[in-house]
Structure 1
Amino acid sequence: MTDLPNILWLVSEDCPPRLGAYGDPLARTPHLDRLAAEGVTWDAACSTSPVCAPSRFAILTGRHAESLPPAENMRADAHLPAGTVTYPQMMRDAGYYCTNNEKTDYNCDVDPAAIWDACGTDAHWKNRPQGAPFLAVFNSMLTHESCVFRPQEGQVRPGDVTLPPHLPDTPGMRQSLARYYNRIAQVDAALGARLREMEEAGLAEDTIVLYHSDHASPLPRSKRFCYDDGVRVPLIVRVPERWRHLLPSAPGSHVGDPVSLVDILPTLAAIVGTPPPGGIHGQPFLGAGAAPRACAFSGRGRMDERHDLTRTARGRRYRYIRNYAPHRPWGQHYAFAWLGAHYQDYEAAHLAGELEPAQGRFWGPKPAEELYDMEADPDAVNDLAGDRGHADTLRRMRGALDGHMLATRDLGLVPEGSGASAEAADWPEARLKDLMDLAALAIRRDPEAAPDLVKALGSDCAARRYWAAQGLLILAIDGASLPADIEAALEAETDPVVRIALAEAWGHAGEAEAAVRWLTGAAGASGNKIHTLLAIEALTSLPLMPQVTQSLASRLAVDPDEYVRGAAAYLERRLDGTYTPDMALFRFDLLGPGFPHILPEDPPAVE
């Protein structure tokens, strides 16, 4: 027994709250249900990102990833500034033996060996010095997205599942959801074994147990997307009697107030009684300093090969979403995700014209803002953003998100790959607010804003010029005429990211062939992964011209970078007319040895 509690930290990959503890009748999760019955369950817990690496950055640092670009983008490598404190460092300073078994994926240049006492498949609390309290993290890959790509045994059959109304009822969709239920049962058994191991060692009365997922499920409009389906996660905490005062309510209860995974670091500080590091964005949800959140905030930048900037605020009842790329459909092709039969079936039904309106929205352009009543509409089907009866709620949630973006210095509006990235860290708040205002104007789709957008093209700030170009691009896609000097602006522009946006706008404004030729040249000569991805994305949205782009697409389809390969392979198959949704474009044979998205090994049998 120590004066400080041990902390057993259990994490399941890509796992939504499809547990018995959350009222799911199909779930077979006895171990996690028992944990919930003996602890406290949060019903509106949210990850900061709908994909693993940016989410894990926020957990590690207590900071939203978009405050330190490019950490908000998938498979980025942000530089962690000197003096940034991570939670294992904080806990080791408090006297804890800290282990991580096995996943890191922090999206930054932190050295795991430097922050953990032990990190890897052999890392375990059993190896701690005698008398030392431990913090031991165990990550399970059993529910990773890739688990639904392969057949498996389980009690839940495709005919047993109920699909949400925004997804079509297809064999592949049912198959994937049934497989996911069965993997959740298997992860429950694996985490139950970790609990039993700790209890059999006689440590149950000295150990706080924390369980959550890094984000939610891989079904369409889930992983990679900022709905509850993508960012709402299970969060359960069991606290022994000695530290029961830390809980916000009695064991067995549910908490409806939102909470964020960025809150875990300050919560750990509250548990051990150490001051949290300065500059963090979270707040504790345990201990004397815990207070209800009004909103939990999440967002996304580039997910795999596709850019689709989004921000969202989740209150106890409402979710507000702001789409900074309303001209792009939700259903952009992701080579890895399309290995799942659920995405293949979904796109096939779309192409065949078989979808209901609520299901077909995924394949079209977005509104700038969305608002959902999650109590009345838990599947987020009825968008209330244009409902006069919810105008006050919309204004309140919009203001909450604006305030959060300023408070956390959200630099996600500075485009990835832009020359403005280096200087943005030192911007005063007024300059960031100015950029937010311009981006809000750009996504409004108001033709009368065109003169102001053209004027902003003359700014000395590349980020402002980018949002001016984005606004003009959105107007051009909507059919609005653009100023005649857009070509001159393209030729005068020096920032590659702004040039790509202007070239796409130029193409949609009536100069498609010239724009395709320009973008093809830019993609082929770039040498920069992000610029190449942006150029391919723009080419994919313009009229297809095989005679211009086919050779480039074929060459890039075997590029060393996995994301360039995926985007180029999709464009290549579209150009030659052979694309079908069930075509596997993700190249496992070209992956390097360190690639993290391996298909999981067969899981142990459920006990």
Structure 2
Amino acid sequence: MHKKNIKPSLLFFFFMIMLSAKSQEIGKQPPNIVWIVSEDNSKHYLKLFDDNGVETPNIANLAEEGILFTRAFSNAPVCSVARSTIISGSYAPRIGAQYHRKSKIVPMPDSIDMFPAYLRKAGYYTTNNSKEDYNLIKGEDVWDDSSKNATWKNREKGQPFFHVFNIGTTHESGIHFQKEDIETIATVTSEASFKVQPTHPETKIFKYTNARYRDKMIKMDKEVGQVVQELEKEGLLENTFIFYYGDHGGVLPGSKGYLYETGLHVPLVVRIPKKYKNLVNWDSGSKTGRFVSFVDLAPTVLHLAGVNVPRQMDGRPFLSNNLKHEIPETQTITYAYADRFDEKYDMVRSIRKGKYKYIRNFQPFNPDALMNEYRYKQLAYKQWKSLYEQGKLNKIQAKFFQPKAAEMLFDLEKDPYETNNLAKNSKLKHTLIDLRKHLDHWMMNMPDLSFYPEYHLLEHAVENPVAFGQQHKQDIIRYHKVSQLMLQNFSGVKHKLESYLQSKDPWERYWALIVCSSFRKKAKTLTPLVKSMAAQDPKRINRVRAAQFLGLIKKENPAPVMLDALYATDRPMEALLILNMITVLNSQDLNYNFFIDPQKIDPKVLEEQLVAARIKYLNN
């Protein structure tokens, strides 16, 4: 019999039998678990976590009755990828869920279910109010109710529940205001009560945006309090763990969508009910610097509920009665990933270990500021770009609009906004190599599917991304090895690059071309070989990559090759990748002009909204 056909009362009876051993062990019914999730806010705007934030008394009350995690991190700086990581307990680049907005939904990995399904099988009533936004195929047995009306109140009497309450007040769209609003809509937060972060200009627009965003935090905190009050009114607090966290970083420019701390470092508080203190080795009012990543949330909930954690999940529980307070080195590491966000492609990976943060830009010629239509709806983004074009930004503020270093290393205690790249600091060479090795091992151990372009994964991996990754693990390791050549001196890797550019493997050639573009004019001696590839490489995307290199070093107009490839493809996501490269050459002060004729583009390609958005931007 399929579980969804079982009557609730019978399901609850089965649950009691299944968890009898656990109940005897702890002498209680399994606890209720509630998540209160606020969208789009990093820890930087709550005084509980950062002096530059505002007071959030309701969240502070939760912390007084539980644990405040000062080092909690999303594994991705955007909602669908972050939420896919949470619901699966798995790293997105391993399971093919790393792209935002999804072009295709991929299956759950390794025959596991979304974690609330395990709670349901154990008799929990599972509800979600109401955001999902997964890049993964959802099973029929995940939620008893996932809707704007979802509530724990419809459960069987005495049945434990898992409830998610999503707060959209702090979402990015909340600061898509008009210029006249600055004069007509006053903020509760004083513009003198905080500092504008050093990567931003101190203008009226940035100050007002900061203040208005902090107002959203104050409103969100009240909504957190309302959920807690409702639980208290029903006499449920003594049986309920309450998690409050932000679903990824904030939305001020350069945060959401980027692997900086403002895009990843989130607030996290867990209220511990007195009745279940024996499940957690912490006292009320505790604060810990133990690193927590989103990949750990699912295993933690399952563990608290007395449900076995599937071994295929990548995360591990961070609440337990046998965790030592001393923080081992393995608990001071977090990984993160950024690939395509809407129409904007990039490939960035990061690791934070203790106070040091290492960021690996696999396509460093892509500036952070590369156009993303939704981001630039915000007035602060528009002004930032305008001030850069006018030459009115200082060196730190201007970095966002310039090519990046392939490797970046930051001391976050001294430099919390990641303004000073220490990758070439000889005193930190050991730290750099250590973090690089950790990141490389993590990427190759998955393995990381993004070493293939998205369109290739859609054609060859989407039915079972994990199996595809395992079948091609040695290939991915080779492509990663090619990509690492950009970290060395060009003179030392020139001959290797020449060999890879002539490889029979098209993806070795692909990554060799990306490495050439990362070196830019240092690799100009390879121009004849790359010119030949632009004209006749059997792989269309490699002809485009070759043209991109020639454009970056100002050796040849890339437009003819790129436009020919764009008009020839019938793959929407290949077209989007080509358009991304065109956008790079249309920015960065390179000033190549492209006029794209939509009538020459395959109709199937034009059906993709992200493609249409890119073409509209470029032609305007």
TM-score, normalised to structure 1, is: 0.88
More divergent stretch after superposition (404-413 vs 390-399): 404-413
Structure 1 residue 242 and structure 2 residue 280: aligned? no
Which residue is equivalent to 1:321? Answer: 359
| Contact kept? 1:2, 1:131, Cα under 8 Å | no
Q: Which has the higher helix share?
A: 2
Aligned length: 570
Residue in 1 that maps onto 2:559: 516
> After superposition, what is the alpha-carbon deviation per residue over 1:73-107, rounded to whole angstroms, capped at 9, x for unaligned?
44343411472221111111222110011100011
Does the alignment pair 1:530 with 2:568?
no
Superposition CA RMSD, Å: 2.6
Between the aligned partners of 1:210 and 1:500, the Cα distance in structure 2 is 47
Larger CA deviation: 152-161 vs 164-173: 152-161
Q: 2:347 aligns with which of 296, 301, 309?
A: 309
Is 1:336 the counterpart of 2:336? The answer is no
Decide whether the 8 Å contact of 1:370 with 1:384 is kept in 2.
yes
Match of 1:165 among 198, 209, 229: 198
CA distance in structure 2 between the aligned counterparts of 1:310 and 1:206, rounded to whole angstroms:
42
Q: Is the 8 A contact 1:418 1:463 kept in 2?
A: no
Q: Which residue is equivalent to 1:605?
A: none
Where do 1:410-559 residues align within 5 Å?
410-418=448-456, 422=461, 424-427=468-471, 429-442=473-486, 444=488, 446-476=490-520, 480-508=524-552, 512-513=556-557, 515-542=558-585, 544=591, 546=593, 549-552=595-598, 559=606
Cα distance in 2, alignment partners of residues 554 and 212 from structure 1: 47
Residue-by-residue CA offset, 1:352-380 (whole Å, 9 max, x unaligned): 11111111111111111111111222122
In the aligned structure 2, how far is the partner of 1:554 from the partner of 1:356? 42
Q: In the alignment, what sits opposite 2:618?
A: 571
The question of whether the paired residues in 1 share the 8 Å contact of 2:98 and 2:338 is answered with: no
Do residues 350 (structure 1) and 388 (structure 2) align?
yes
Of residues 1, 7, 12, the one that matches 2:38 is 12
Which residue pairs with 2:9 in the alignment?
Answer: none
- Measure, in 2, the Cα distance between the counterparts of 1:266 and 1:109: 20
The answer (yes or no) to whether the contact 1:13–1:215 under 8 Å persists in 2 is yes
Q: Distance in 2 between matches of 1:545 and 1:343?
A: 23
In 2, distance between residues paired with 1:226 and 1:526? Answer: 32
How far the C-alpha of 1:24 sits from its partner, in A, is 3.3
- Picking from 603, 608, 615, the partner of 1:561 is 608
Where 1:418 maps in the other structure, the secondary structure is: helix
The 1:431–1:347 alpha-carbon spacing in structure 2 relative to 1, beyond 3 Å, is same
Write the letter of the residue equivalent to 1:109: I
Aligned to 2:305: 272
Q: Structure 2: 5+ residue runs without aligned partners?
A: 1-26, 462-466
Q: Note the C-alpha offset of 1:408.
A: 2.6
CA distance in 1, matches of 2:28, 2:306: 14
> 1:98 matched to which residue of 2?
126
What secondary structure is seen at the aligned counterpart in 2 of 1:3?
Answer: coil
User: What letter is aligned with 2:476?
Assistant: L
The structural deviation recorded for 1:541 is 3.2
For 2:542, the aligned partner's letter is V
Amino acid at match of 1:565: A
1:207-230 CA distances to partner (integer Å, 9 max, x unpaired)?
000111111111122111101110
Inter-partner Cα distance in structure 1 for 2:524 and 2:536: 23
Note closer, same or farther for the CA distance 1:509–1:181 as it changes in structure 2 (3 Å cut).
Answer: closer
Q: CA deviation at 1:421?
A: 5.1
Report if aligned partners of 2:99, 2:341 keep a CA contact under 8 Å in 1. Answer: no
Identity, in percent, stands at 29
Alpha-carbon distance in structure 2 between the residues aligned to 1:60 and 1:26: 29
CA, structure 1 residues 298+34, in 2 after alignment: closer, same or farther (shift >3 Å)?
A: same
**Amino acid across the alignment from 1:566:** A
| Residues 300 and 316 in structure 2, CA contact (< 8 A), matched pair in contact too | yes
Deviation at 1:58, TM superposition (A): 0.4
Following the alignment from structure 1 to structure 2, what is the Cα–Cα distance between the partners of residues 389 and 351? 36
Say which SS state the counterpart of residue 339 (structure 2) adopts. strand
**Structure 1 residues 509 and 379, CA gap change in structure 2 (3 angstroms):** closer
Aligned-partner Cα distance in 2 for 1:167–1:392: 32
Structure 1 partner of 2:314:
281
**Cα distance in 2, alignment partners of residues 510 and 445 from structure 1:** 21
CA displacement, residues 122-176 of structure 1 (integer Å, 9 cap, x when unaligned): 1110111122100000111111111111256541144443111111112221121
Contact kept, 8 Å, 2:72 with 2:293, in 1: the verdict is yes
**How much has 1:428 moved relative to structure 2?**
5.8
Matched-pair contact (CA < 8 Å) for 1:466–1:501: yes
Indicate whether 1:204 and 2:204 are aligned.
no
Q: After TM superposition, give the deviation of residue 550 of structure 1 in Å.
A: 4.6
Letter in 2 for 1:435: Y
Structure-2 residue corresponding to 1:180: 213
Structure 2 residue identity aligned to 1:15 = N
TM-score (norm: length of structure 2):
0.86
Asked if the contact 1:270–1:284 (Cα under 8 Å) also holds between the matched residues in 2, the reply is yes
Residue of structure 2 aligned with 1:47, choices 62, 65, 74: 74
Offset of 1:259 from its aligned partner?
Answer: 1.3
Deviation of 1:16 (Å)? 1.2
**Partner of 1:115 in structure 2?**
142
CA distance in 2, matches of 1:390, 1:58: 32
| CA-CA distance at 1:346 after TM superposition | 0.7
The one-letter amino acid paired with 2:115 is Y
The alpha carbon displacement at 1:554 in A equals 11
Deviation of 1:487 after TM superposition, in Å, equals 3.6
C-alpha separation in 2, matches of 1:491 and 1:278? 49
User: Does the 8 Å contact 1:44/1:259 carry over to 2?
Assistant: yes
Secondary structure in structure 1 of the residue aligned to 2:454: coil
- The 1-side partners of 2:489 and 2:222 are apart by 50
Query: Any stretches of 5+ residues in structure 1 without a counterpart?
Result: 574-607
User: Post-superposition shift, 1:485?
Assistant: 3.0
SS in 1 for 2:340: strand
1:579-590 maps to which residues of 2 (within 5 A)? none
- The answer to whether structure 1 residue 56 and structure 2 residue 100 are counterparts is no
Match of 2:597, SS state, is helix
Matched residue SS, 2:170:
coil
Q: CA deviation at 1:337?
A: 0.7
- Post-superposition CA distance 1:487-513 (Å, at most 9, x none): 433454344433321231243455533
Cα-to-partner distance string for 1:460-504 (whole Å, 9 max, x where unaligned): 443322211211222345562324232433454344433321231
* Range 299-308 or range 144-153, more displaced: 144-153
Q: Which amino acid aligns with 2:224?
A: L
Equivalence for 1:602: none
